[in-house]
Chain A
Amino acid sequence: MLRFALTRLGLVVPTLVGITFLAFFLIRLVPGDPIETMAGERGIDPARHAELRRTYGFDRPLYVQYGVYLERLLHGDLGRSIATSEPVASEFATLFPATIELAVAAILFALLIGIPAGIVAAIRRNSILDQGVMGISLAGYSMPIFWWGLLLILLFSVQLGWTPVSGRISVQYFVEPVTGFLLIDTLLSDEKGAFGSALAHLVLPTIVLGTVPLAVIARMTRSAMLEVLGEDYIRTARAKGLPPGRVIGLHALRNALIPVVTVIGLQVGVLFTGAILTETIFSWPGVGKWLIEAISRRDYPVLQGGILLIGIVVMSVNLLVDLTYGLINPRIRHVR
C-alpha cells in the first residue's frame, strides 16, 4: 500500500508543476503587454509603464520571473487582486466555503436520489420504471444547467414564489461568519429564522448543480448493479433462500457501490464547472462567480491564483479518491 501511495503521489508532482506553468504563463500569453492590458483602454503614460514593469518584475528574464513566482507561491503569496487590492489567497479562503457548501449539498442530493433510482432501475430491468429512470437521467446528463436554473427560477421563484431568486441568505439577517458554512453559522447564531432563510436559498442551486451528477450516478449505479446481480454469489444467496431485500441491500449493493464511489470522485471537476454556472445564475458568492467577474474585469492575479488553487483542490480530491480506492480494493494497488 505504501508503494502504491508513493507512486500515486509521484504522479502528482509533474501535474502540479504543470499547473503552476499554466497559471504563470496565463498572464504572459495575453497578447500585448500585461500592464497595458490591465490599464485597459485608458492607456498609460510611458514613465509609469516602465515603473510598473519594474515593480512587477516584467523586465527580467522569464525563468527569473518564474522562479520569483514559485518562491512567492511557496510562501503562500498569490498576489493581490487588482480590483480590491485584497490578497488573492484570503479572498479565495473567504469565498471557498460558499462553493463547498453548495457542492456538498448538490452531491448529497445526487446520491440520495441517484443511488435508489439506479437500484430500482436495475431490479426492474426493462420495465417502464427502468426506461423512465434512464430517459430522465439521459435528459439530465444532456441538460444545459444554466438554462435549467433559469427555468427553475421561472417556475418556483416567479410563478409559485416558494424560493428566493438569488443570494445565500435574506438581507435582514446578519450572521457572524465562524465556519463560513452558512447552514452551520446560522445554527450557531441566535438570529431567529436565519437558518430557514439560508436553507431556502440553498434549494434551487442545489438542484441545478446536482442534476448532472445525479444523472451520472443513477446510470452508473444501474449498470454496476446489473453486473453484480449476474454474479454467482448473488445466485447462491438467492438459492440459500435469503429474502430479496437482503440480497439486494447486503450482497449486491456493497459491491455495486465500489465503481459508484470512483465516479463520485470524478464528479469533482464536473461540480466545479457546474458551480461556475450555478453561482453566476443565482448570484451565489462563491469562487465560481468570483472567477467569472475576474475575467470581465481582467483581474489577472485573481484568475492566476484561482486556477492554481482550484487545480490543486481537484487534484487533491482525485488523489484522495485513488488512495481510498486502493485501501478498499487491494487489487488496484498492484496494477501498474
Chain B
Amino acid sequence: MTAETLEAPPAAVPTATPPHPWRELWRDFAKNRGAVGGLALIVAIMLLAVFAELVAPHDPNLTNNAAFLRPPVWQAGGSWSFPLGTDAIGRDMLSRLIHGARLSLAIGVAVVALAIAVGIALGLVSGFAGGVTDILIMRAMDILLTLPSLLLAIVVVAILGPGLMNAMLAVAVVLLPHYVRLTRAAVIAERGRDYVTAARVSGAGSLRLMLSEILPNCAAPLIVQASLGVSTAILDAAALGFLGLGAQPPSPEWGTMLADAREFVLRAWWVVTFPGLMILMVVLAFNLVGDGLRDALDPKLKR
C-alpha cells in the first residue's frame, strides 16, 4: 500500500544476469512491512494448525461438567487450566481455537485449489476455443457473478444439504468466475504474441500451447487472486458455519463456534469474542499478503 518512491539500492556485486524471479519477488514483497507481518502471522497459525495435538492443552471436544463457562485466566474465576476460558459445555476455548485453525486453513486452501483448477481449465478452454463455447462459459459465469456471493453459496447448500464439504464446494463455486475471467483475459492477451506463434509454428499442440507456453505467463494475476481468494473462502465458509449451513457442531470451526456462542453473548463475552478475532486475524493476514503480492507482481506499480 505504501508505495516506495525510492529505488532499492543497486546490488552490491554488479552482475550481467538479472536476479532470479523468485528472489526479485521476495525483494519487492519484503519492502511491504504489512505484507511481511501478514505472512508471519499465517506461518504462525499454520504451525499451530499442524501441531494442534501437541500445542492444545485439552481435547477440543472434551466436555467438563465441573467447568461450564469459565472466564479467561485474567478474570476473576479463571484458571491456568483453561487460559481462554471454557464454553457452555465446559470445552476448553483455547484448544478449540487451535484445532479450528486447522479447519479454517484447510478450508481456505482446498477451496481455492479447487476453484483455481476448474477456473483455469474453463478459462483456457474459453479463451482458446472462442465462439459458442466461449459465450456459453462466460454467460454462465455472469450468472454466478450476478447473484450475491452468500446467496449463491446458500443455493448450493440448499441443493446439497448443509455440512462442511458442501459448504466448501459452495464457496468454490462462488470464487470460480473470478479465476475463469482472469485466465480467459490473460489467454486472449497472450495468444497473439510472437512467442506463442513461434511455438505453434514449431509444432506445439493446443494442449502444450495452453499449459506450458501461455499459462506460466498468466500466473501473476492468478497468484494474487489466489491469496485474496483464501481470505474470501475462510470468511464465507465461516459465515455459512455461523448460519448453520457449514460445518456442524461439535466441529470447532470458528463460524460454527460463534453460532453456538450467540445465546451466551449476555453472560460470557469470551465465547463470542475469541473465535471472531481468529477469523479476523487470519483473513486480515491473507489480505495483507495478497496486497503485498499484487504490489510486488504488478509491473505497473514497480516503475
A interface, CB within 8 angstroms of B: 11, 14-15, 18-19, 22, 26, 29-31, 126, 131, 134, 138-139, 141-144, 146-148, 150-151, 153-154, 158, 269-273, 276-277, 280, 291-292, 295-296, 300, 303, 307, 310-311, 314-315, 318
Is the Cβ of B239 less than 8 Å from the Cβ of A144?
A: yes
Which of A147, A154, A269, A272 has most chain B Cβ within 10 Å?
A147
Is the Cβ of A26 less than 8 Å from the Cβ of B280?
A: no
Is the Cβ of B146 less than 8 Å from the Cβ of A318?
A: yes
- Interface assignment of B142: CB less than 8 Å from any CB of chain A: yes
**A271 neighbours in B (Cβ, 8 Å):** 148
**B273 neighbours in A (Cβ, 8 Å):** 151, 154
- Interface assignment of B275: CB less than 8 Å from any CB of chain A: yes
**B117 neighbours in A (Cβ, 8 Å):** none
Is the Cβ of A151 less than 8 Å from the Cβ of B148?
A: no
- Interface assignment of B47: CB less than 8 Å from any CB of chain A: no
**A273 in contact with B148 given A19-B143, A26-B158, A158-B266 (CB within 8 Å):** yes
Is the Cβ of A273 less than 8 Å from the Cβ of B149?
A: yes
**A30 in contact with B149 given A139-B284, A154-B272 (CB within 8 Å):** no
Which positions 1-60 of chain B face chain A at CB distance < 8 Å? 1-2, 34
- Interface assignment of B303: CB less than 8 Å from any CB of chain A: no
Interface size on B, residues (CB 8 A): 47
With CB as the reference atom, state the residue of chain A lying closest to B272.
A150
Is the Cβ of A26 less than 8 Å from the Cβ of B279?
A: no
Known: A14-B139, A150-B261, A154-B273. 20 other contacts (CB 8 A): A11-B142, A18-B140, A19-B143, A30-B158, A30-B159, A138-B34, A146-B258, A147-B272, A147-B276, A154-B269, A270-B149, A271-B148, A272-B150, A272-B151, A277-B150, A291-B154, A292-B154, A303-B158, A310-B148, A314-B146
**With A and B bound together, what is the CA distance between A303 and B261 in angstroms?**
27
Is the Cβ of B280 less than 8 Å from the Cβ of A139?
A: yes
Q: Contact check: which of A22, A276, A292 meets B143 at CB < 8 Å? A: A22
- Interface assignment of B157: CB less than 8 Å from any CB of chain A: yes
Is the Cβ of A150 less than 8 Å from the Cβ of B142?
A: no
Q: Mark B145-168, 1 if CB is under 8 A from A, else 0.
A: 011111100110111110000000
Is the Cβ of B139 less than 8 Å from the Cβ of A277?
A: no
**A150 in contact with B262 given A139-B280, A144-B276, A307-B151 (CB within 8 Å):** yes
**A22 in contact with B280 given A15-B139, A150-B272, A292-B243 (CB within 8 Å):** no
**With A and B bound together, what is the CA distance between A15 and B284 in angstroms?**
34
**A151 neighbours in B (Cβ, 8 Å):** 272-273, 276
Is the Cβ of B151 less than 8 Å from the Cβ of A144?
A: no
Is the Cβ of B235 less than 8 Å from the Cβ of A138?
A: no
**A153 neighbours in B (Cβ, 8 Å):** 265
With CB as the reference atom, state the residue of chain B lying closest to A219.
B1
Is the Cβ of B279 less than 8 Å from the Cβ of A147?
A: yes
Is the Cβ of A15 less than 8 Å from the Cβ of B147?
A: no
Is the Cβ of B231 less than 8 Å from the Cβ of A276?
A: no
Which of B238, B242, B288 has most chain A Cβ within 10 Å?
B242
Q: Contact check: which of A15, A270, A295 meets B142 at CB < 8 Å? A: A15
**With A and B bound together, what is the CA distance between A29 and B269 in angstroms?**
41
Is the Cβ of B242 less than 8 Å from the Cβ of A277?
A: yes
With CB as the reference atom, state the residue of chain B lying closest to A275.
B148
**With A and B bound together, what is the CA distance between A310 and B269 in angstroms?**
35
**With A and B bound together, what is the CA distance between A154 and B273 in angstroms?**
10
| Closest CB pairs A-B (n = 9) | A147-B276, A272-B148, A18-B143, A273-B150, A142-B283, A142-B284, A269-B148, A273-B148, A144-B279
**A295 neighbours in B (Cβ, 8 Å):** 154, 157-158, 245
**With A and B bound together, what is the CA distance between A295 and B255 in angstroms?**
18
Q: Contact check: which of B2, B147, B244, B266 meets A310 at CB < 8 Å? A: B147
**A147 neighbours in B (Cβ, 8 Å):** 258, 272, 275-277, 279-280
With CB as the reference atom, state the residue of chain B lying closest to A158.
B266
Q: Contact check: which of B151, B160, B261, B288 meets A273 at CB < 8 Å? A: B151
Which positions 63-86 of chain B face chain A at CB distance < 8 Å? none
**A14 neighbours in B (Cβ, 8 Å):** 139, 142
**A291 neighbours in B (Cβ, 8 Å):** 151, 154
Is the Cβ of A138 less than 8 Å from the Cβ of B288?
A: yes
With CB as the reference atom, state the residue of chain B lying closest to A277.
B239
- Interface assignment of B227: CB less than 8 Å from any CB of chain A: no
Is the Cβ of A144 less than 8 Å from the Cβ of B238?
A: yes
**A22 neighbours in B (Cβ, 8 Å):** 143, 147, 155
With CB as the reference atom, state the residue of chain B lying closest to A23.
B155
**B34 neighbours in A (Cβ, 8 Å):** 138
Is the Cβ of A142 less than 8 Å from the Cβ of B231?
A: yes
Is the Cβ of B235 less than 8 Å from the Cβ of A144?
A: yes
Is the Cβ of B284 less than 8 Å from the Cβ of A296?
A: no
**B275 neighbours in A (Cβ, 8 Å):** 147
Instruction: List 20 contacting pairs A-B, 8 Å CB cutoff, sorted by A.
Output: A15-B142, A19-B146, A22-B147, A22-B155, A30-B159, A126-B2, A131-B2, A138-B34, A142-B284, A144-B239, A144-B276, A144-B283, A146-B255, A146-B276, A148-B276, A158-B266, A273-B150, A273-B151, A277-B239, A303-B158
